[in-house]
A = this chain, B = another copy of it.
Amino acid sequence: MNLDRFSINQMTVKQLALPELVEHCLRLGVPGIGLWREPVQEYGVEAAAALVRDAGLTVTTLCRGGFFTTDGWEAENRAAIDEAVTLGTDTLVLVSGGLTPACPDLLSARARITEAIAELAPYASDRGIRLAIEPLHPMYASDRCAVSTLDQALEIAERFPAEQVGVTVDTYHLWWDDRAPAAVERAGVTGRIHSFQLADWTTPLPAGVLNGRGQLGTGAIDLAAWAALLEKAGYTGPVEVELFNDELWARDGVEVLEETLEAFRAV
């Protein structure tokens, strides 16, 4: 794929401090960056905003709001929206939350998630922020995200205007689902693809299954077919590479960044 739509999610090379990451993005011609709340907060939200703005980088997303099934979600998500505004992105990615004592099953969790988004969407919209519900792989259904398929995410998103609430399409989470291609098309036609993220599927999965997102081209997913699917659905926005991977994190961050660019080009 062409580099002009490439965005590097900060977590892919979390071993790099933000100024270093920005410096190498400029050197390598990387046009976009996806930011995470925790490292941005550590660096300082205003300072991070100035850094990426001065570098001319597009902040493609802020990750992440959500966890609506946990107490305190409302203040936390309003803060995330405010940070998104400061950082100059238009998209907040939502990882919606899993089962909790208040929402002990998937249906009640999804009901809570829908209510929470109804509450937040106008607040976000007033500030120019789109919410992007991210369906997570079913292996996270109990502890991170009761929204497991793109169909489920769309079912929630479609209750709201498309410019307020859409979805994140992440190959790692959706590649296995034979219903995903039709859902991508539906999401594209209705203008609801607010983020497109790439990672490859590699096994064996690590304990906890969080940090096994594979480098592009090293796993089971036909990423070129996914890129073609999104194109066919009319998606022309940034393509963010988001890897959580202990092996990549143990290596030199600049080397991983350069390798990720090459892997992206090769898709």
Contacts and interface: CB of A to CB of B under 8 A. Distances in A.
Interface of A: 99, 105-106, 137-139, 141-143, 148-149, 152, 175-178, 201, 203-209, 219-220, 222
B222 A105 contact: yes
A205 B203 contact: no
Q: Is the interface of A mostly helix, strand, loop or mixed?
A: loop
Contacts of A139: 137-139, 205, 209
B205 A178 contact: no
A139 B210 CA distance: 12
Contact of A176 (B106, B175, B203): B106
Contacts of A178: 106, 149, 152
Contacts of A207: 204-207
Given A137-B139, A148-B176, 12 more contacts: A105-B222, A106-B178, A138-B176, A139-B139, A141-B175, A141-B176, A142-B176, A142-B219, A142-B220, A204-B209, A205-B205, A205-B209
Can you list the 9 inter-chain pairs with the closest CB atoms, starting with the nearest? A142-B220, A207-B207, A141-B176, A138-B176, A139-B139, A204-B208, A143-B203, A205-B209, A138-B138
